[in-house]
Structure 1
Amino acid sequence: MRRGFMPSKDSEHGRIPAALPPTTWYCSLAAANLKRHGLDPVSRYWLQLEGSLTRALQLRCQQGFHVEVAREGFYRPTREEALTLGIPMGQVAWIREVRLCGDDTPWVLARTIIPRSTLRGADRRLKNLGRTPLGAYLFSSQRWSRGPLQTGLCHRRDQEQPPVARRSLFHSGERRLLVGEYFLPDLLARPDSNRT
């Protein structure tokens, strides 16, 4: 198997919240497609969408968009997340888990891992976003840039969990953070979900 097509799998032992299924990550949508034998057009659209996901979701709302904070604080990332970020195993990081909701329905579960070394200076604000979308902070600053998108295939325990996800590293000099976005069935089933 070529190096670029090697999946990486999150630990399944207690660090992933119940709402987030274990996920196998691929370096590209093409690599994930080979494993799943083709993803549906709506999933493909969301997985490769450029720019701010928050903004794209807001444009599809008829009644409103909001962020619900499920959990945030200093916790240990999974082994796989620590390796991706290049931080020591067992080191705590600021972990923020939210639901991105459109028209009062959760559409996306987002999990952000922020190493302690990133939370300095102006970026200390990342601990105090509350219901402000993370994308509003990252995409309004020219200091932060996004790395390549990875595609995740989720190992669902039930039909209410997300089937697909994406994630990327954001960089600002030596600082970095990892953002994972898990697409829920209610979003993927919307008839206007992949309109441009």
Structure 2
Amino acid sequence: MPPVRWYRSFRQARLNRPALAGTAAFWLQAEGSLTRHLQLRCRQRFHVEVAHEGFCLPTREEALTLGIPHRQRAWIREVRLCGDGTPWVLARTIIPLDTLSGRGRRLRHLGRVPLGAWLFSHREWSRGPLQTGLCHPVRPGDPRCARRSIFSNRDHRLLVGEYFLPELLARPL
């Protein structure tokens, strides 16, 4: 993922990049399941491509956001959310070890099932406030903007980051 500067709200991000509007504004502020919003915009098919899943170290900033020790490994899931055969969103989920206990064990075995579909179908999970991110792309196809939020279930938490690719942002709403 390219470097990202995170803001507590869309409004704060917009103050730093006034041109942030239109399609990007819609996706950064979309309520509910991003998976569902993407599915509704597909003409043919939506699918998930798993790029990586496994135990790794989150970044220092991700660990700080989740309130876990910096050197503690977590289950990290990176996927591409694709519409009509084209990657539209890169998603990165950080799941701390304690979240993987009990019913949370299922989170390690989602495969091509969208995490959003799973989270929004289990009412015990709730989403915290969305943070908006402005990306600093390195290559032409890198994400331009992102959002993230913490989902929590009693004492368990996970961090979901969604990075919007130019192909999605170029599509009309």
Letter in 1 for 2:115: L
Query: In structure 1, how many angstroms separate the alpha carbons of the residues matched to 2:103 and 2:62?
Result: 24
Amino acid at match of 2:42: C
* Structure 1: 4+ residue segments shifted above 4 A: none
Report the count of equivalent residues.
Answer: 173
Deviation digits for residues 50-73 of structure 1 (CA, Å, limit 9, x no counterpart): 000000100111110000000010
Tell me which of the two structures has the higher relative contact order, counting C-alpha pairs closer than 8 angstroms and 6 or more residues apart: 2
Cα deviation for residue 123 of structure 1 reads: 1.1
1-structure distance, mates of 2:42, 2:15? 33
Partner of 1:137: 118
TM-score, normalisation: structure 1: 0.87
1:1-196 alignment, distance < 5 Å: 20-191=1-172, 193=173
TM-score by length of structure 2 reads 0.99
Identity %: 68
**Amino acid in structure 2 at the alignment position of 1:32:** A
Q: Aligned partners of 2:45 and 2:96: how far apart in 1?
A: 32
Structure 2 unaligned blocks of 5 or more: none
Query: 2:18 & 2:167 partners in 1: Cα distance?
Result: 22
CA RMSD of superposed structures (Å): 0.6
For residues 17-40 of structure 1, the C-alpha deviation after alignment (integer angstroms, 9 at most, x for no partner) is xxx101010000000011112302
Q: Point out where structure 1 has 5 or more consecutive residues left out of the alignment.
A: 1-19
Secondary structure at 1:46 match in 2: helix
